[in-house]
């Protein structure tokens, strides 16, 4: 069984979503987690999780969306989380310092709000981290020290040092299609050293299509390609790595699914 632990089904056109979900199921992807980037998508994500048994959802706001839409309040987060039992995560949220005029203070405030909600609900936090390793490590570590919470570092692309810090906190590390890119040798080296019981796999679709689909719109079915690469990096078989990452997903989200 394969699970795509991070995709954005809400970003696909309504007219093709049935096919996208079907393609995934046909490729062996039994479950998907629809991560949330914007407040504007909250309703849509609830609707999608209600429509498809195989899709779980998250509620949260990406740092760049926080800059565009204004920070979502904790009350709004709680309201939408409580609308469906299939909302199993908070996020994605985090820090993204890749833009030219990013607003560091606003992003940190937004991240801290989400951490607070993750602590209070017990739901794992989905972390987006881009060009922000130092602040991210510092904030996650100091918040964790105050009171623990669960988290996934989604689409992990940082170095071994950052991975080790996250593992110390018990966080999970998710491999995206980037691990299949020719240029990602260093990232594959990092993944080869990580404990198998902390690994997840994802597409981040419709973004980041893996090899051999680069340039195309990514979709959950393509998580198969990331699983193949992860199997070869970790010296496991395809069946082993897909079972391990699925068991990890179930353990993290405390799901009794088959």
Stretch that binds Zn ion, among 9-17, 131-139, 201-209, 220-228 (CB under 5 A): 201-209
Q: Could you tell me the sign of the dihedral formed by the alpha carbons of 202, 206, 72, 74, in that order?
A: negative
Nearer to Zn ion, 222 or 234 (CB): 222
Q: Nearest distance from residue 6's CB to Zn ion, in Å?
A: 6
Stretch that binds Zn ion, among 33-41, 108-116, 180-188, 244-252 (CB under 5 A): 33-41
Query: How many residues in the shown chain lie near Zn ion by CB under 5 A?
Result: 2
Nearer to Zn ion, 36 or 166 (CB): 36
User: Nearest CA to 6 among 156, 160, 184, 180?
Assistant: 156
d(C-alpha 236, C-alpha 155), whole Å:
21
Phi and psi angles of residue 86, each rounded to the nearest 5 degrees, phi first: -85, 0
Stretch that binds Zn ion, among 162-170, 189-197, 202-210, 246-254 (CB under 5 A): 202-210
Nearer to Zn ion, 99 or 148 (CB): 99
> Counting contacts by CB under 5 A, is residue 225 touching Zn ion?
no
Q: Is 150 exposed, middle or buried (0-12, 13-18, 19+ CB in 10 A)?
A: buried
Any idea which residue has 């632990």 for tokens?
5
Q: Give 142's Cβ-side CA count (13 Å radius).
A: 8
Stretch that binds Zn ion, among 15-23, 35-43, 172-180, 241-249 (CB under 5 A): 35-43
Q: Nearest distance from residue 8's CB to Zn ion, in Å?
A: 6
Q: Nearest distance from residue 83's CB to Zn ion, in Å?
A: 21
CA separation, residue 67 to residues 51, 62, 226, 243 (Å)? 30, 9, 31, 38
> Counting contacts by CB under 5 A, is residue 204 touching Zn ion?
yes
Interface with Zn ion by CB under 5 A: which residues?
A: 35, 204
């Amino acid at each position: 069984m394969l699970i795509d632990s991070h995709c954005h089904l809400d970003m696909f056109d309504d007219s093709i979503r049935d096919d996208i979900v079907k393609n995934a199921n046909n490729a062996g992807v039994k479950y998907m987690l629809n991560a949330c980037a914007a407040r504007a998508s909250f309703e849509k994500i609830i609707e999608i999780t209600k429509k498809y048994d195989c899709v779980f959802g998250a509620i949260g706001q990406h740092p760049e969306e926080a800059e565009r839409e204004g920070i979502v309040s904790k009350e709004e987060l709680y309201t939408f989380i409580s609308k469906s039992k299939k909302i199993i995560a908070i996020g994605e949220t985090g820090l993204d310092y890749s833009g030219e005029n990013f607003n560091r203070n606003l992003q940190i405030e937004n991240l801290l709000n989400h951490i607070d909600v993750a602590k209070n609900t017990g739901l794992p936090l989905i972390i987006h981290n881009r060009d922000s390793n130092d602040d991210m490590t510092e904030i996650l570590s100091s918040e964790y020290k105050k009171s623990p919470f669960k988290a996934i570092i989604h689409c992990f692309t940082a170095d071994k040092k950052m991975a080790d810090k996250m593992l110390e906190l018990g966080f999970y590390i998710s491999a995206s299609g980037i691990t299949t890119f020719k240029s990602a040798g260093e990232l594959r080296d990092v993944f080869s050293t990580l404990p198998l019981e902390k690994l997840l796999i994802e597409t981040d679709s419709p973004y980041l299509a893996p090899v051999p689909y680069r340039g195309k719109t990514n979709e959950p079915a393509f998580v198969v390609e990331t699983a193949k690469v992860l199997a070869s990096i970790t010296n496991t078989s395809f069946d082993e790595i897909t079972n391990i990452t699925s068991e990890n997903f179930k353990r993290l989200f405390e799901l009794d699914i088959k």
